[in-house]
Amino acid sequence: MTTNERPIGELHSPVMLRRTLDLLAPALAEPGATVVDCTLGLGGHSEALLSTFPAARLIGLDRDPAALELAGERLAPYGDRATLVHAVYDELPEVLERLAVPRVQGVLFDLGVSSLQLDEAERGFAYAQDAPLDMRMDQTTGLSAAEVLNTYAPGDLVRILRAYGEEKQAKRIVEMVVKERAKEPFSNSARLVELIRDALPQAAKRTGGNPAKRTFQALRIEVNGELAALERALPAALEAIAVGGRMAVLSYHSLEDRLVKQVFATGSTNSAPPGLPVVPEQYQPRLRLLTRGAELPSDEEVAENRRAAPARLRAVQRIREAS
């Protein structure tokens, strides 16, 4: 695959890097600490974690074999301090069991699409350039976006666009997709982008950036099962963190951030029945919120890296064992 012959570091600017490191730092300074980068990508966050915390060991997960290969080159100088695994982040418990790591001190999720996937046109993630409609983060398995468009029932397509893309014009877009796919199956992104432009009323085209953005997001989430995997991954990752350990999550759209917020809120409030004069230990919160709401990137960072603009950062500390 091509990386345009640029150094890996130039292909990827880790989002909110300094703040993420600061939030994880208290848990990773001690010798023997293990941190898991659940979304390795091109390894930008992982490289910074390994260089900033020289006593820490890193486990990096990614479902994309191409990303694992490039990140492996980038992290090679750190030797056996970095262990990279081909896995989806909801497979974290199995990975830790296989590596005989009972508990970890830090976990990082940097959700969404990696720079590698966006910049390699043939992956089909970007609506701004024509490419095969693939969108699989792991191209060795699962249905492509084209197969979803060409085979799903109209009702299922409408549901996906509404639920995962928050697309108000889902029914109108799907009606045109069904009509067009009967003439010729979809294979490339440009045809879908053109169809969406034709399907939307003028008012809808004037707001929210590229009109194809929401449909492409919805297809990507469906193809990769992202929200279902995240729903499983967040509680599993929190369970893997030792008391005193920390987790940071970077989200890039409201559906991800809402899930993270709910999981963190549940863990950081007591679960006692109402009216108890004293809250017993088993009902006490097991998490402490480290961020007030979701933190945003600075204007300076967004000016330097436009992909940071939608980022939302939340973090928690594990303060006690589960009951």
Query: If 0-12 CB within 10 Å is exposed, 13-18 middle and 19+ buried, where does residue 277 land?
Result: exposed
142 known ligand binder: no
60 known ligand binder: no
Report how far residue 41's alpha carbon sits from residue 14's, in angstroms, rounded to the nearest whole number: 10
62 known ligand binder: yes
DSSP string, 72-96: HHHHGGGGGGEEEEE--GGGHHHHH
86 known ligand binder: no
Report how far residue 233's alpha carbon sits from residue 170's, in angstroms, rounded to the nearest whole number: 29
Which candidate, 50, 32, 52, 41, places its Cα nearest to that of 13?
A: 41
Report how far residue 58's alpha carbon sits from residue 292's, in angstroms, rounded to the nearest whole number: 27
117 known ligand binder: yes
Report how far residue 84's alpha carbon sits from residue 87's, in angstroms, rounded to the nearest whole number: 9
> What does residue 37 show for φ and ψ, rounded to 5 degrees?
-95, 100
DSSP string, 122-165: GG---TTS--BS---SSTTSS--HHHHHHHS-HHHHHHHHHHHH
Q: Which helix (H) or strand (E) holds 179?
A: helix 170-183
Contact 135, 141 (CB under 8 A): no
Which candidate, 247, 315, 313, 253, places its Cα nearest to that of 16?
A: 313
Q: Residues forming the annotated binding site for S-adenosyl-L-methionine?
A: 43-45, 62, 89, 110, 117
Q: Residues forming the annotated binding site?
A: 43-45, 62, 89, 110, 117
